[in-house]
Structure formats: C-alpha cells, structure tokens
Structure 1
C-alpha cells in the first residue's frame, strides 16, 4: 500500500455510481439488441430466471458497497473480503498484483468488475429458445466485451501501470506508444522480440536438404543421425495456415529433430505462402498436387511401398481426404499409417472458430482477398480473438501500458510469422467444411472427379487431441474415430493446440491419457483412460514401430541429395522465408 499512497482516488459519489449503472445497462442493451438482430426477432428470456439473476446482482452489488463502507471505505487498512464462492473470490491472473486486493479503491474496482462480468455472462446464458449457434455467438460476444472492459486494460485503473508511470516519469507510456505505432505500421500485434530469432539459424535449424520444389511446396529431407533407419519413411504435412517450423523450433523442442534421432527417415512439406499467382488454387490441389504428389515422390525416391504420414490441423483434415481419395482409387496401401495432430473431419462441434463462419464473415473474407489471397495477418487476428484475454489484452497491458521489453520466445515468434492463404481455397474450405460439414457426408465432396467417403479408409490411425485445445476441441477431434474403418488409437494430451503437440520428453511437462482398448464414446474413453506423466511422443514412436520394425542402412537415397533427387538448397529452404 505504501507504493500507492500518492495515487489515492476519491470514493465514488452517488452520481458516479448511477453513471456506472447506466453504462452497464446500456452495454447490456446493445449486446442484446445485436443478438436479437442476428436472430431476426426479440430474444426470449425466462422472466423468472432473469429476475433471479437481476435480484442476485442487486443483492451482491449492495453487499459489496456495504462491506466497503462498513470497513471504512478508502481509509481502511484491510480490504473488504469477497464472500467465498462469489465471482470476486475467484483467482484471476489479471489481478495478480497485490494492490488489487490490498488497496481499498482498486479492490472495489476489481470486485465490482468481476460482479458485473458475472452478471452479463449469466444474462447471456439466460437467453433461451434461439438457435444454439446464435446463443453461442451471443456468449462469445459477451465474453469478448467483458474481457475488453477489464480495469486492468486501462492505465488509470491499473495500479501496476500507475506505479510504473510514477516511477519512470511516464517513460513507460512513451515506450508503449512506440510499441503501438510499430505494431500499427506492420498491421499486427507483437508478442515477442523478432530480432532474437532467425529461420535456419536458431529455429528451423535441423540439418537437411530441399530435394523437390513445385509451385505449391518444397520437400525437405532431413539428415539422419543414426546408422540405420526404419525402412518405412515418415512424411510430415504441417498446416499451410502457419509456417512449418512449429514442428522444428529450437533443437530441444523440435519434433523433427527428435524423430530423426529415433531412427526415422524424415521428410517434410514446406508450403508456399500464397500470392496472386495462387488465386485459383482449391482443395484438390493441396490433396492431389500436394500430399499425394509428395507421397509418391518419397516412395519413388526410396523405392518403398508406402510411408508413415502425419497431418497437423488443416493438413490433418486434408490427409483424411487424401486417404479417402487413395482408398477410392485402390491405392490405400501407399500410406502405412496416418497420424492426426489436433485435426478435425467432422465440424459439427468445431468450437468457437465456427462462430466466425456465416454469410457476413464470408463476404468479408472475399472482400479482404481481392488480390487473390488472404493476408495471413487477418487469420492471425482471428486466432488471437479466440483467446483474447491471453493473446491480446495481456500484451496490450505489457507492451503498450507498462512499456516492457519484448521477451525472446520462439513459440510466439512462430505465432506472429504469418502465411497468406489462397482466396478461393480458403472460402471453399470455410463453406464446405466448417459451414456445411460436407466431408463426413459420403460422396458430397469430390476430388479430381472422385467422390470421397471417409468410411473407406482402412489405414491404421493415431489420433491426438489436446485437452485444452480452443481451435480443434477434443469433442470435435474425437469424431474422426467414428468415420474411419481401420484401427484407431486415440490419445488425449495435456494442454492445447500447440503445447499439447510440441511437448518433448526431455521437458518433463504435462501428461497424456490413453486406453489399452478402443472405446465407443469420448465419455467412455475419459472414464477408462490411464494418465501418464510427461510427453506422449514415446507412445507414438512405439506405435509407429508396431507397424514394421525393419531397419535399413543409411546409404544412397537415404542421405539427403544422394539419390535420384539432388539437393536444391539447404533446409529450411526459401519458401518458409518468403514474405
């Protein structure tokens, strides 16, 4: 409290309290009117439920002010504690600074905000009798609004910012302004120090060679580190909505380097970031002239019957389509096994990202893609909005208000290294999969004239989901199990869409859940699953070896550039560096 003695605010007057009440009421009305407009009618409420929520809000609000006044208001030495179980009693990282509870005024602001947030959220949940999608959008909009209005996001209601401003004479705000202007210039919120990393030097640095280049992708063959390797090679398809090196960060985090060290011949596709020349690309291209072309290239190069394939996120969705196409052609044996990292094929429960898919948003995507491609910064902003509290407002406070230096963090550097998307492909993907969910309807999608049916896929599959994944929720990822006809091992990893995948064994972090026998439903899986501490990667490599443990010497084409396909350049290649 001593450090805040020079910024003692006054106790709000009755008029100011009335003003805040009106602000909350107007905000509530605006959100409800917006939701009503989206549904085309008035929002239906259960009057009894709303009355209970409003009564609870009024009661807790009066109790908060009474505790504040009974304790001496601004002049008390101890904060007025929130009752156990109330919104203000819950832990919240935004209010971790001790001043939020020790200083009377900031304690009041904190408790008032949390109480109001809880009220608005409960009121949004009380809307009934509308389409579940519209209700989910209302809930998402409410959550975004209350996150944006947090007192921690504003300089004069954040005690840490006020203290820093007094200590530095306002230099933090000047530095924060510099950060903000730099971000405005590049059109993107910065999360880390971009000068600390260089692709090919301290990230994406696993040794290898680019051995094939097409207008769509470069194929990288990594240098073996063992005398012998598994006969069946590994071919990795990263998502083209991000740079591939999420799988090849620093050496201690690199899945690629770890896989090489396990004795695998590792190949990886590095997709080209879209430009105007790719405006007519569609999903068929990524399936036929992307994944199948790469599969055939590796098979022919090494003289092997098939490959182990990994598809991450959108590339996993595409891998399922690729397998269905191969099965329809009688060529399913080209892939010995398929591993899906946080991938979806059934989008009926695709999570909050699906809330952005409607006619209005699709029209906006088309407008933003007038050059034939969608600037990757728009996609990055969308993903950030899904976790606005952590990926937007946290950095607004640290970067702009506190003026802190950017920490060097390879994962955040990758997150900000955006790629462009072909406009036609992107719109078709959103409409045919996210909106219309056609991939799981047999024959509803065709590739090069061949109808797709996921039920024809008999390839053994390893399906990994993230327990806290906000992009591909576990409930959605699980659905792939019910659409494949071959054996499936489902595994649930701790953490989310990125950290749930990138979890090297040496780190000793997180955990995973697995079952010895297949389960009919996700609930059955969760009930029967055994928890194992640490990384799931060792479980995966044992599963891979279970599909053929024959090893061959590292010679000839097993060495990058020494076979029929010569080295074009060193890994990671030029496509990943293009902007």
Structure 2
C-alpha cells in the first residue's frame, strides 16, 4: 500500500468517526428540542387573514389582467429552462464550467464555486430567478391596504432569504469544502455550537454572535472608574471619577435605553463616550437600569418617569448641590425623557437646563420597518405573552431586531457557526448586543399601544402621572443627534417628531452610519462625518439637501453646544457624598444581571 493510499485511508477513518459523532450529537439535539416551549403562533407570523387577503388580491389581479400574470410566469419558465439548457450545453461540450451569469452581485454567493461550478451556479441563478418572480408578484398586488402590502412584502422577503441555497449544507459549496478539509470535524463543531445555543435559550434558536468568554463586565468592558452612589428598585446611579482638576458646575445625567445595558457608551477606553465626556470636564452620572423580573410586571411608563428620571435628577441635584442638570436620553430613554420634560413643564419644575436626544423617536406616524410587528395580531400576542410571563422577554425583542437584518444577523452567523463550525468572534459590540434586558409587562404594553400604535404623544396627548403629556410642552434648549442609516429610529422620523417641540433653541445633527456606530463615533477614529442645518422648518428631504457636511465625529460639536449650558468651572467632584456614600465600584450590580429566558 502506498503512502498516499495510507493517508487516504486514515482520512476516511477520521471522516467516518466524525460522522458517527454527528449521529450521536443528533440524538442530543433531539433531546434539547424536546424541552423546547414554542412561542405562541401570534409572535411567529401574522394572522391568516393577511395571507388570505394577499391571495385574493393575486387571483383578482389574474382575473382582471390574466395576460400580465401569465407573462410574468412565462418569463420565469423561459429563464429557468434556458438556464438549465445552457448548463447542459456546457457539459455536452465537455466543459466543466458554468454558463454566462448575469445575476447581480450578492455577498452571500462570494465563494468562487458559485460562479464557476455548473451545479452550484445553476442553483444560484435559479434561486435568484425565483426570488425576482416572488418580488415582482408582490409588488404588483393591488387592492391591499398599505400596511397589509408592507407586511406581505416583508414576510415574502423573509421566505426568500430563508430559502437561499447558502443556508443548506447540501447546497453550500463552502461548507461542503470545509467538511471535506476537516474530515467532518467542522460538522461536529457546528452541531455542538447549535446544541449549545439551543440549550442556552430553552430550545429557542438564537445564534450566538460573540464569544462571551472573551469579555468581563468591569474587567475589559465597562471599565470607566466610578462609584454607585444610589440604588433603588428601578436603577443604580453611577457617578464617574473626574480626570480633570476642575469641572463644569452643571452635572450631566445620561439615561441609556433599558432594552440594553448602559455600557454601549463604555465598551472600551478608545470609544467610551463616558470617558470622553469626563475628559472634557463634565461631572458624568449614568443611570444603570435594573433588568426586570416578574416582580416588576406592574411597572409602567409612569414609574420610569417618577421613580427613574425624576428621582435620578433629584439625586444628582442633591449630590452636586446644583439647582439644574443637563440630561441625555438615548433611544427609548430619549422618548421617555420627552414625556418627562412635558410633565416637568406642567408641574413648573425647571430642574433640567438642557436635553440631548440620541436616536429618539416621538412621532410614530410612520412605523417604518417595524410595521409588520406593530399591528394588532402581533401586539395581541405580546399582550398574552406579558400576561403570562410578567415581562416581555429579551430574546423576543432580540429576535425581532435580528429579522430586520436576517441575512446579516441570523443566516450568515448561523452558517459560520453551525455549518462551518467556527467559534463566534470576540467582538465587544456584538457581546453587548446579546446582553439584553427584558421590559416590564405594563411598560411594554403602554409603549406599544399608546406610543407606537396610537401615537398619542404627538396627537391628543398621553395620560401619565396625572397629566396629559404632549410634545408641544417641551420648550427647553435641546439637541437631537440622529443617524443616517439607522433602521430602528430613522432620522427622518426623528426629525418629524423633533420639529413638533416648542423649544426656541434647537440643534439637529445627522451622523453618518447607524443606530450604534453613528453615536459611538469617537473623534480619534476619524471615521464618520455628520450633517448640520439650522433651518428646522424644512421638510426632511429639504433639510438634508441644504445641510452642511462636516468631516469627523459630532462629539466635539456637541461639546461646544453643551459647554455653553454647563456654567462655570468648579473643583472636580469625587464620587459620593456624606448623604450619598459610595455603595460599590462602577459598573455596579444591576448591569451584571442577565435577562429572563
């Protein structure tokens, strides 16, 4: 027996051994799945009537204009048959090559075999033809309500994305090559990754996006030095240690969103907005929200306002002996900060000198990409979920956000982890993204029904804390920072809401990039620029047409704006006082608590 034959035999033995491991792991996978408690149907798909209406519209279109429908079908058939014939002709000519390929560039099909191998190329071209046929059929549907049309478009695209040949081992050349190269070890590793993810989420499939073992909260992320100086059932108040000899007299209080943890603003030293603000001479306080369990099921927006925002502002005023503070609200905390400012206006409370909003929606008239999830059937399902669980569990929201970018946040990571057997990357942003928080049941219901669906804050007003809150009550100096490619809080929608405040001093900024990268954009990176325009009476499109583009981060521009509202310089403040002694080091305890599964 030759050396090559011996090596080939050993490789086959290793391959067979790994395939046997795959069979054993399959039994373990079945055991994990047997413990899976499926989500209620309302959270997985729209009510059947949506699809029935779409089917009725399609058939009505066929009756009204059968020629057009048949033309589309014949075009698909023709291209399909032609693609098959072209591939056959190449084989008959003795050429093991793909025929001409005019399909558009798609990074899912970047592996060379998708272009050169006749089998894989035929699969790719046929998939793209089918996808185009579905998209055309949906785009030509008539007689549907706009929201139903948008939902059909969304769910049809989900089917298209799911059925990509890249998502299946037998039709993914890169995964098959890896299996052969590793003698099946990649399949073993991939199946172990799949079982681990399912086991960690009670049988629910959430692809782990980051290597969790690479990060430690308070160790190599969330490391800005400071102290917890106050704690209540709603939040811990962090006061960060100064890095300058003097500071502005007016303190800065940052309210992060409670859907995720505050340390998105303190991932590492190089991109920490908290550290940067401290270095500019601000006394920085940050609210670290509690990760709610079922005992907080009855906590509503009014509790977040009274026990969260107003209480934190009062504590900071007492700690610093200052009559006013400057505040920042990020995403949902920015929305709630608007509600708080409306309430403070009606109560005659002037504790806030200025407010800055990061990616903040207040006008929900256009629900954008969230339209499919903000209709009654889905919200009814969420109401049932929170009635049973007491909270809106984090993984439900994480799954929803992921499906808005399913190829990037679901299928591509799943392919790498489960089919290629790769470990998730050590990426701090993705680690933070997976470290979510649930929402108290009452608060989630109010936010979805009263704000997102009914849009009461910019309409007749929202009844909270014994008052009717309206955006027109907000009249203090404000700055709104939005992000150009943000798909969660689209900048144009943020702009429409911001226009409806009555502040006489308003600054509006559009940063390049998205919901996170556009905000966490330190000047040292010199990466993303930003747009400004003082004419806030223009439409959003007109505003952008006339806007001035500036290279680099918006942080220094904000510093110039904020410093003018922060008073004189005083001696730097050490965290804590006699009345508010330090409880523990930052980042505190609440930030370490994991969300309910």
Which residue is equivalent to 2:296? 278
Trace 1:265-344 onto structure 2 (pairs within 5 A).
265-331=283-349, 333-344=350-361
- What is the rounded CA distance, in whole Å, between the counterparts of 1:510 and 1:42 in structure 2? 45
Matched, 1:480 2:497: yes
For residues 279-330 of structure 1, give each alpha carbon's deviation from its aligned partner in whole angstroms, at most 9, with x where no partner exists: 1111100111111111121122212232111111111110110111111112
Q: Report the alpha carbon displacement of residue 346 of structure 1 after superposing the two structures with TM.
A: 0.7
Matched, 1:80 2:119: no
Which residue is equivalent to 1:252? 270
- More displaced stretch, 196-205 vs 67-76: 67-76
Matched, 1:572 2:587: yes
For residues 403-425 of structure 1, give each alpha carbon's deviation from its aligned partner in whole angstroms, at most 9, with x where no partner exists: 01221001111111121211111
Matched, 1:168 2:182: yes
Which residue is equivalent to 2:135? 121
Do the aligned residues in 2 keep the contact of 1:73 with 1:104 (CA within 8 Å)? no
Which residue is equivalent to 1:226? 244
Q: Report the alpha carbon displacement of residue 564 of structure 1 after superposing the two structures with TM.
A: 3.0
Q: Report the alpha carbon displacement of residue 69 of structure 1 after superposing the two structures with TM.
A: 4.0
Trace 1:104-143 onto structure 2 (pairs within 5 A).
104-143=118-157
Matched, 1:102 2:120: no
- What is the rounded CA distance, in whole Å, between the counterparts of 2:554 and 2:69 in structure 1? 46
Trace 1:49-448 onto structure 2 (pairs within 5 A).
50-51=69-70, 53-72=72-91, 75-76=94-95, 78-83=97-102, 88=103, 90-187=104-201, 188-331=206-349, 333-369=350-386, 370-442=388-460, 444-448=461-465
- What is the rounded CA distance, in whole Å, between the counterparts of 2:119 and 2:550 in structure 1? 46
Relative distance call for 1:32 and 1:240 in structure 2 (3 A) is closer
- What is the rounded CA distance, in whole Å, between the counterparts of 1:58 and 1:533 in structure 2? 50
- What is the rounded CA distance, in whole Å, between the counterparts of 2:112 and 2:55 in structure 1? 46
Do the aligned residues in 2 keep the contact of 1:99 with 1:159 (CA within 8 Å)? yes
Relative distance call for 1:40 and 1:324 in structure 2 (3 A) is farther
Do the aligned residues in 1 keep the contact of 2:499 with 2:537 (CA within 8 Å)? no
For residues 537-571 of structure 1, give each alpha carbon's deviation from its aligned partner in whole angstroms, at most 9, with x where no partner exists: 122112212334522221xxx21014531101110
Do the aligned residues in 2 keep the contact of 1:120 with 1:142 (CA within 8 Å)? yes
Relative distance call for 1:73 and 1:385 in structure 2 (3 A) is farther
- What is the rounded CA distance, in whole Å, between the counterparts of 2:564 and 2:89 in structure 1? 69
TM-score by length of 2: 0.86
Relative distance call for 1:566 and 1:166 in structure 2 (3 A) is same
What is the SS of the residue equivalent to 2:239? strand
- What is the rounded CA distance, in whole Å, between the counterparts of 1:544 and 1:361 in structure 2? 41
TM-score by length of 1: 0.89
Trace 1:519-558 onto structure 2 (pairs within 5 A).
519-548=537-566, 550-554=568-572, 558=573
For residues 466-516 of structure 1, give each alpha carbon's deviation from its aligned partner in whole angstroms, at most 9, with x where no partner exists: 222121122221212221011322211222111121111212222222224
- What is the rounded CA distance, in whole Å, between the counterparts of 2:48 and 2:398 in structure 1? 29
Provide structure 1 residue ranges, at least 5 long, that are not aligned to the other structure.
1-29
Provide structure 2 residue ranges, at least 5 long, that are not aligned to the other structure.
1-44
Do the aligned residues in 2 keep the contact of 1:460 with 1:488 (CA within 8 Å)? yes
Total equivalences in the alignment: 540
- What is the rounded CA distance, in whole Å, between the counterparts of 1:379 and 1:33 in structure 2? 22
Do the aligned residues in 2 keep the contact of 1:354 with 1:434 (CA within 8 Å)? no
Q: Report the alpha carbon displacement of residue 162 of structure 1 after superposing the two structures with TM.
A: 0.7
Q: Report the alpha carbon displacement of residue 388 of structure 1 after superposing the two structures with TM.
A: 0.9
Do the aligned residues in 2 keep the contact of 1:31 with 1:142 (CA within 8 Å)? no
Which residue is equivalent to 1:18? none
